Chain A
Amino acid sequence: MRNKIFVSLFAVLLLALAIANIAAPKKEFSDNENRSLASFPKLTVESLKDGSFTSDFATYLADHFVLRDWWVSVKAVAEEATGKTSNNGVFKGKDGYLLDSFDEESAAGFLANCQSVKEFIAFTKETYGIDTKTIIAPTATQILSQKLPPFAVTADGNALLDEAAKELDGFINLTPVMESHKDEYIYYRTDHHWTNLGAYYAYTEYKKACGEQAEPFAYWECETVSDSFFGTTYSRYGLFDGRNADTVSAPSGKVLGNMTVTNSKGEVSSSIYFPEKATGKDKYLYFLGGNDSLVTVDTQAQNGKTLLLIKDSYANSFLPYLIGDYQKILLVDMRYYMGVIPDLIAENGVTDILILYNLKSFAEDTYIQYINFTE
């Protein structure tokens, strides 16, 4: 009798799980994890033979598994319960900070990418007489290292940035300014980006490097866009406990004034902000709506200055502060951009160039080498 109940229970459980997996509605995009989910693999003789069908099916099944988030959080809870302080490459830090890991493996590509940038700086100086500036922004993992869990080990970001400072002319080392403001809200707790305040401090350093002074922070009349932001590190850590939500703020659109923003598909809008994204899951997309290969911003500034900004997503929340400084800003994401950078510079009469990445994405990047390609 005992065994009858036991067997029946598991039989029902197994069948229920199997049926639920088939019957449950399929999502194309996971809001929680902020990524597209796998689609059902194509069944062909070829895909069966080379095994890609079966491995793609496994990914599909895991991606669309019924109550996926719940199962993921089961693992996160179990990991915490057994004393693990990181899960899926995210550290559970103090004060609700979920900090992206940055290990030696991630750091491995840093110097090679530095060399690409160094070549590019020499090239732009020689060919166009432009003093290219570079910002490799320290991430929260480095600046807030005192919030890391006990004994956590990360690659030495400070040493890498010192190295970059030695190698690169026009390098702006943000470590001191971020260190001095580390008790302020300069990084999101649940996302790997900096906040609008962190980006502002970076901007002040940039202005200094240009021989100018930034307006005070109050000038921008920053407005709260959302106070319920759960970002990328929250998704990857997988606990989904709904705690320590972040607040996304941005310089007021009134202060920035009118502008024309053209994306790579030729779509035109009048703002660098995307308010509809603030109601979605990844509220950082409020800035620029995400990453695009080439975005052109024409501002009301009448100073004839054109900035080429080669960047990752850290630049998206940095961009608002630049609006008043340039008549035209070209934002290029090397991960998606297929054109030739020297051609872009020549065609647009670029007067200033800024390379802006965060430390981790810069070190892990495999596309930045293409800035030197001439065809």
Chain B
Amino acid sequence: MVFSSLEFLTVFLPVVLLLYYLMPDKGRNVLLLLASLVFYAWGEPVYIVIMLGSIALNYLFGLGIDRFEQKKNAQKAILIVSVIVNLLMLGVFKYGNFVIENINAVAHTALPETKLSLPIGISFFTFQAMSYVFDVYRKDAEAQKNILNFGLYISLFPQLIAGPIVRYKTVAEEINHRKVSFDLAAQGIKRFLVGLAKKVLLANNIGYLWSCLTENTDGHLTAAAAWLGAIAYTFQIYFDFSGYSDMAIGLGNLFGFHFLENFNYPYISTSITEFWRRWHISLGTWFKEYVYIPLGGNRKGKLRQVRNILIVWLLTGLWHGASWNFVFWGLYYGLFLLLEKFVLNRFLPKLPSVVRHLYTLLVVVFGWVIFAFDDTAQLFAFLGSMFGANGFAEGDFVYSLASNAVLLLILLLASTPLCASLGKKLERECEKKPAAFTVLETVWYLLLFVLSVGYLVDSTYNPFIYFRF
């Protein structure tokens, strides 16, 4: 199930919320666990066993590390086994066919491909499970003794299928003790509705433009249309993914959880380094905590640091999908980060912010183009189009631009903190009339809700980009 669907909004969520708030504290975790399993099984009825297996194994790993408290070597052995098991599971389901394809291509063999499809959310829940074992090993958190509670952590439906990747230590406390309140619920509803609107009203609509431009064209577009497409995709992926994170955080609040932020207006960045501090923060943190720092980070000389950065970005790319373009995309960012660290940082800060901003956005837009095409021929055709291989502009570009101009303007404004600060300003202005502000605010969120449901009822286009990870 996805959040931006009528079955979630008008069947699953009302039922689960109602039961949850009626349920005494003791039963809430079990209820939420059951709800999460139903949520997952709704879209992935067979592969739910994979997730249940992951829950059981990682629960045992945690217990094992806890039991051998005095024996460092045994703990280390369990940790290594757990990493191998988790990566193997991810490897078989996510990268199996990719590996076979490449072996076949290089060695001219004809190994048959597996018939396995990618279980929804496996990249997310596997990374969460790994963070748990790491955290227990490092004594950042206590082992979870109750398998139901541990199952809840892995399967918790708000962040199950598209993140944010919640590290165990950030919610360990709230798994056992958390409180709901009207204040938190109100905050959660607002956050959820903002996310829903970002996804349904913004991402889907601009994504429709991107798919209109790229489908049936094999990447052969006029330069103007190709740039419009690349910009459309850049907006789509941000509003799609950050919308999902907003919904996850909002839902978390409704059930008493506090998840960490996953996005912080990435497109206002003035360097690539800054961009990655603002984009998919939970993934960046995960790699930093569990890969970069254990590898030695920047503490063992420049050479080791370069190696570590490249490893992290190779893995980051690969995490996004079993395809070469994701590998290129990861390394592309790795190289820009190195370039900034060792060269550009001497010059960039002296440049006007407009130039820095433009530079960042260009790198990001080209990054998304690499990201968008897993077919290399299509990728190069599209890049060619961006540089005018198929002429500059045609009539259909004008129509696409004209009919999306207002939407693009909204997307542009919504990519900045402007709306949030306007809201705050309005609240200050209305300080003497809090009722007026409440009315305004309520109308605004009602509007978001009604529009989103309207678009969902009459929707033909509602993909989730981050679903394949």
- Interface residues of A, Cβ cutoff 8 Å to B: 2-7, 9-11, 13-15, 17-18, 21, 48-49, 51, 54, 57-58, 61-62, 65, 68, 71-76, 78, 82-86, 88, 104-105, 108, 150-153, 238
CB-defined contacts of B399 to chain A, threshold 8 Å: 151-153
Q: Which of B9, B17, B396, B457 has the most CB of A within 10 A?
A: B457
Q: Which residues of chain B have a CB within 8 Å of any CB of chain A?
A: 1, 5-7, 9-11, 13-15, 17-18, 42-43, 45-46, 182-183, 185-186, 189, 201, 215-216, 395-396, 398-399, 402-407, 410, 434, 438, 441-442, 445-446, 449-451, 453-460
A72 contacts B6, C-beta separation under 8 Å: no
CA separation between A68 and B457, bound complex, in Å? 7
Q: How far is the CA of A54 from the CA of B395 in the complex (A)?
A: 41
- Do A72 and B454 contact each other (CB < 8 Å), given the known contacts A3-B183, A7-B189, A61-B11? yes
* Chain B residues within 8 Å of A58, by CB: 5-7
Q: B186 to chain A: which residues have CB within 8 Å?
A: 2-3, 6-7
B10-A17 in contact (CB<8A): yes
A86 CB contacts on chain B under 8 angstroms: 403
Task: Determine if A85 and B403 form an interchain contact, defined as CB atoms under 8 angstroms apart.
Answer: yes
Do A49 and B18 touch (CB < 8 A)? no
Query: What residues of A have a CB within 8 angstroms of the CB of B182 in the complex?
Result: 3-4, 7
Task: Name the distance in Å between A373's Cβ and chain B's nearest Cβ.
Answer: 29
Partner of B458, one of A7, A11, A83, A238: A238
Residues in B neighbouring A104, C-beta threshold 8 A: 216
In the complex, what distance in Å separates the CA atom of A145 from the CA atom of B186? 51
**A78 to chain B: which residues have CB within 8 Å?**
201, 451, 454-455
> A6 to B186, alpha carbons, bound, how many Å?
7
Residues of B within 8 A of A6 (CB): 186, 189, 438, 441-442, 445
B15 in contact with A51 (CB, 8 Å): no
| Known contacts A49-B46, A51-B43; A151/B457 CB under 8 A | no
Q: What would 10 more interface pairs be, CB under 8 Å, given A15-B18, A61-B7, A65-B457? A: A3-B185, A3-B186, A15-B14, A17-B453, A49-B46, A57-B7, A58-B6, A71-B457, A82-B407, A83-B403
Complex interface: chain A residues within 8 A of B215 (CB): 105
B334 to chain A, nearest CB (A): 37
Chain A contacts for B185, CB-based, 8 A: 3, 7
Q: Are A51 and B45 in contact (CB under 8 A)?
A: yes
On whether the beta carbons of B5 and A151 are closer than 8 Å, the reply is no
The chain B residue sitting closest to A8, CB to CB, is B182
Cross-chain contact A18 with B15 (CB below 8 angstroms)? yes
How far, in whole Å, are A224 and B32 apart by their CA atoms in the complex?
Answer: 62
Closest chain B residue, CB of each to CB of A77: B454
Give the distance to chain B from A116, nearest Cβ to Cβ, in Å: 22
Q: How many whole Å from A48's CB to the nearest CB in chain B? A: 5
Which one of A3, A7, A48, A65 lies within 8 Å of B45 (CB-CB)? A48
Q: Which residue of B lies closest to A51 (CB)?
A: B45
Give min CB distance, B432 to chain A, whole Å. Answer: 15
Some 10 contacts from A to B, beta carbons below 8 A apart, are A6-B441, A10-B449, A65-B10, A71-B453, A73-B454, A83-B405, A84-B404, A88-B460, A105-B215, A151-B399
Question: In the bound complex, what is the Cα–Cα distance between A306 and B216 (angstroms)?
Answer: 43
Which residue of chain B has its CB nearest to the CB of A74?
B454
**Bound complex: CA A14 to CA B5 (Å):** 14
B17 touches A11 (CB 8 A): yes
* Bound-complex Cα distance A49 to B48 (A): 11
Query: How distant is B200 from chain A, measured CB to nearest CB, in Å?
Result: 10
State how many angstroms separate the Cβ of A112 from the closest Cβ of chain B. 16
Could you tell me the distance between the alpha carbons of A7 and B188 in the complex, rounded to whole angstroms? 10
Q: Do A9 and B402 have beta carbons less than 8 Å apart?
A: no
Contact check, A151 vs B395: say whether CB atoms are below 8 A apart. yes
CB < 8 Å neighbour of B402 from A2, A3, A73, A151: A151
In this complex, what residue of B is CB-closest to A60? B7
**Chain A min CB distance to B221 (Å):** 13
The answer to whether A5 touches B438 (Cβ under 8 A) is yes
The 5 closest A-B pairs by CB, nearest first: A74-B454, A3-B186, A71-B457, A151-B399, A18-B14
